[in-house]
Structure 1
Amino acid sequence: MTAPAPAGARLPDFRLETFFSRWEFAAKHHLTASDAETMTLRELLALGTEDARALFAELPLGYTETWGTTRLRQAIAGTYATCGPEDVLAFAGAEEAIYWAMQLLAGPGDHVVVTVPNYQALETVPRAGGAEVSGVLLREEEGWRLDVDAVRAALRPNTTLLAVNFPNNPTGAVPDHTTWRALVELCEERGIRLLSDEVYRGLELDPDRTLTQAADMSATAVSINVTSKSYGLPGLRVGWIACRDHALLEALERHKHYTSICNAGPSELLASIALGAGDQIHARNRGIVSENLPLFGAFFSQHADLFDWTPPDGGCVAFPRYRGSDGVEAFCQELVETEGVLLLPASVYASELGSVPADRFRIGVGRRNPAPALAAFDRFLSSRATRHR
């Protein structure tokens, strides 16, 4: 399905953030969190060198470089096989990176293909900028599989950009290496830019399924990442783009002057410490997910009449099905109002590019001690069952 670009369109409400603005800090149990368990400042500093800790204590609180400090860009480059510090531009979180990249890479007369379901900005920002945007549905009946033939069929002579997100939010799907390589090769063959949102990379249940980053595979591909999700450090607000196309990076840097200008110096230093300890942090967070999944599996097994549960391949969110007759929207609303358990209903992931199943909800599996939230969830279900007897 293709959504035409509205003339002079303004950005619509960001459904996820609008929903969170009401409930994220009001709900007692944030059971739909998309980030892994965070750590304290003390814990993060303990992962750094003595030199880094001393530097943090004496850090001047002035402006930083728009590109990101040398220390940060070197730390980011250390997470790539091919990209160096000169191939990195820092942003205030991943959303700023997506916002500018999607505007600069597609405009009036251009066609963009986006996988569905997706992070809303990947489709709404290019549409508001005047591009035509088509969606390719991940195959729900096949575990949210990416179909490269469906992507190929969606391409047009004026297709300039393909935007994907793996591990996928909200499904947790990860394509196999053969499929991923075929997708990159398709973009290379057709001269299409690949934009890859990789913010959950590092939390794959099977580390062998971790995909090579797009910017390492293609000289024109754009890899977007952030310290928020798989690192569990959203409070730092440090994201980045890695790309070997320096003309694009320079254009992005000039546009960044209109938004954040630069990141906070303390955040960039702390992010460099986190990236230097990335393997350790990812192993910690994968351990949390692995410990949690049996708890979620047991919970949904106890309520198999109401839910279909599939654990994520990667990342720390999943997209179960709700089978109740009241529908998932009413269900999620009553759950948060009655027991303070927050889930994201399917409407948050609705897309004009293709039909996202309306009976799904997003649940988070990356935070420690989900037992109290699951107990409250269970009380809610038991109470409803008693009332409906």
Structure 2
Amino acid sequence: MNIAPFELERYFAKYEFSTKYLLSCSDCEPLHLQELLKMADTETLKLWNNLKLAYTESSGHPLLKEEIAKLYTTIIPDELNVMVPEEAIFIAMNCILEKGDHVVASFPGYQSLYEIANAMGCEISKWQPNFTNGWKFDVEKLKSLLRPNTKLLVINFPHNPSGATVSKAEFYEIIELCRQNNTLLFSDEMYRFLEYSADNRLPSASDLYENAISLFGMSKSFALPGLRIGWLSSKNKKLMNKIGAFKDYTTICNNAPGEILSIIALQNKHKILDRNLKLISENLQLLDSFFANYKNLFEWHKPLAGPISFPKLTTNIHIDEFCKILVTEYETMLLPSSVYGFQGKFFRIGFARKDLNEGLIQLESFVNRHTFD
């Protein structure tokens, strides 16, 4: 497969571990190992202390799958396959698509959600949101992109990078569009449970539609990206069997420590989610204050969910140049919209880390010391 470079990941590879302040992290403040182990009950702590570093069950530890199933209303453990989140996208796309298929994908987005299909020779139509008083995905626009032969619709709510989501009514309408058109649905739900109001929380697509496959994992909502544990859920047994067989050619099975630590985290999911939402809420207040002070430079609309947003730079400087000066002279990283292949002066800012204020101080120093038209 001749696939294009993953621009976002190449950007992070260049700056993530050499830059002092990261203002574009998409995950929540990662938990420390000892912090997580303190949450373990007697049974799971025993699993951890007696852990043998052997091969694990291909589709995931049975106890882990039981805990994952509790995140859904109808999904059962047999309808889950545990794997690295990026691997899950790669395998699903390869099991669903063939050259020439038509795919509709929300855009901008995590590049693999559409680039793998593009590399396979599929035709991609991009469902782009409007930026008017915040980001908004219009279902009517989606309808105009769907065709009778559309093989797959790829969605991501809460959305990376904008923080946008759709209403429950709109979500059900999307499901029904797929059902009527016999279109498979891939739903990236990596930020589920990070809605600021439970009223804005969407059900999992895999709970609602037999030809939906949902992606979730420990990296974002549960603040454990280093575990490299995610999963796919679907009631489409034929597709899940195909995915299981394909996985034999990738990782085969998961890392044993990550599975046990994930069990501990999911058994304490409410504690972890409350911790992350509290940090997001506090940091949103910092961002509201910062952007209120610099209305002449930025257009900011608080999102409805997640730890990231996609504000607009309103000065004449190119967004790439703005971010380059910030990272090289102020050791502070923002992601320019160009890494998403998206036009316009937008940038991704993350706000679920404890050192957000330190990064904002550097950003403030930058904009105060430079003259912008």
TM-score of Structure 1 vs Structure 2, range by shorter chain: over 0.9
Name the structure 2 match of 1:317. 308
How far apart are the structure 2 equivalents of 1:190 and 1:325?
44
How far apart are the structure 2 equivalents of 1:129 and 1:276?
39
Residues 305-342 of structure 1: CA deviation (Å, up to 9, x unaligned): 11111122111000010122221110000001011010
Name the structure 1 match of 2:223. 232
How far apart are the structure 2 equivalents of 1:116 and 1:142?
18
Matched, 1:63 2:49: no
Report the CA distance between 1:157 and its aligned residue: 2.4
For residue 224 of structure 1, give the secondary structure of its aligned residue in structure 2.
Answer: strand
Q: State the identity %.
A: 37
Q: Tell whether the 8 Å contact from 2:58 to 2:252 is kept in structure 1 after alignment.
A: yes
Q: Work out which of the residue numbers 6, 10, 22 in structure 2 matches 1:18.
A: 10
Name the structure 2 match of 1:353. none
Q: Work out which of the residue numbers 185, 188, 202 in structure 1 matches 2:176.
A: 185
Residues 95-142 of structure 1: CA deviation (Å, up to 9, x unaligned): 111111112111123211101111111111011112211111112226
- Write out aligned runs for 1:201-240 (5 A): 201-240=192-231
**2:45 is aligned with what amino acid?**
R
Name the structure 2 match of 1:35. 27
Aligned residues: 373
How far apart are the structure 1 equivalents of 2:140 and 2:299?
28
Q: 13-22 or 145-154: which moved more?
A: 145-154
Name the structure 2 match of 1:6. none
Ranges of 4+ aligned residues in structure 1 off by more than 3 Å: none
Q: Tell whether the 8 Å contact from 2:194 to 2:307 is kept in structure 1 after alignment.
A: yes
Name the structure 2 match of 1:327. 318
Name the structure 2 match of 1:368. 354
Name the structure 2 match of 1:380. 366
How far apart are the structure 1 equivalents of 2:307 and 2:159?
10
How far apart are the structure 2 equivalents of 1:129 and 1:294?
44
Matched, 1:358 2:341: no
How far apart are the structure 2 equivalents of 1:55 and 1:116?
42
Name the structure 2 match of 1:137. 128
What CA RMSD, in Å, does the superposition of the two structures yield over aligned residues? 1.3
Name the structure 1 match of 2:264. 273
Q: Tell whether the 8 Å contact from 1:35 to 1:234 is kept in structure 2 after alignment.
A: yes
Residues 12-51 of structure 1: CA deviation (Å, up to 9, x unaligned): 0000110011000111001100001111111111222111
How far apart are the structure 1 equivalents of 2:137 and 2:143?
12
Name the structure 2 match of 1:5. none
Name the structure 1 match of 2:46. 54
Q: 206-215 or 131-140: which moved more?
A: 131-140
Structure 1 gap segments, 5+ residues each? 1-8, 351-355
For residue 134 of structure 1, give the secondary structure of its aligned residue in structure 2.
Answer: strand
TM-score (norm 1): 0.93
Q: Tell whether the 8 Å contact from 1:109 to 1:158 is kept in structure 2 after alignment.
A: no
How far apart are the structure 1 equivalents of 2:61 and 2:11?
34
Q: 241-250 or 100-109: which moved more?
A: 100-109
Name the structure 1 match of 2:83. 91
For residue 108 of structure 1, give the secondary structure of its aligned residue in structure 2.
Answer: coil
Report the CA distance between 1:282 and its aligned residue: 1.1
**2:44 is aligned with what amino acid?**
A
Report the CA distance between 1:144 and its aligned residue: 2.2
Q: Tell whether the 8 Å contact from 2:95 to 2:246 is kept in structure 1 after alignment.
A: no
For residue 73 of structure 2, give the secondary structure of its aligned residue in structure 1.
Answer: coil
Report the CA distance between 1:182 and its aligned residue: 0.4
Q: Tell whether the 8 Å contact from 2:134 to 2:302 is kept in structure 1 after alignment.
A: no
How far apart are the structure 2 equivalents of 1:297 and 1:163?
31
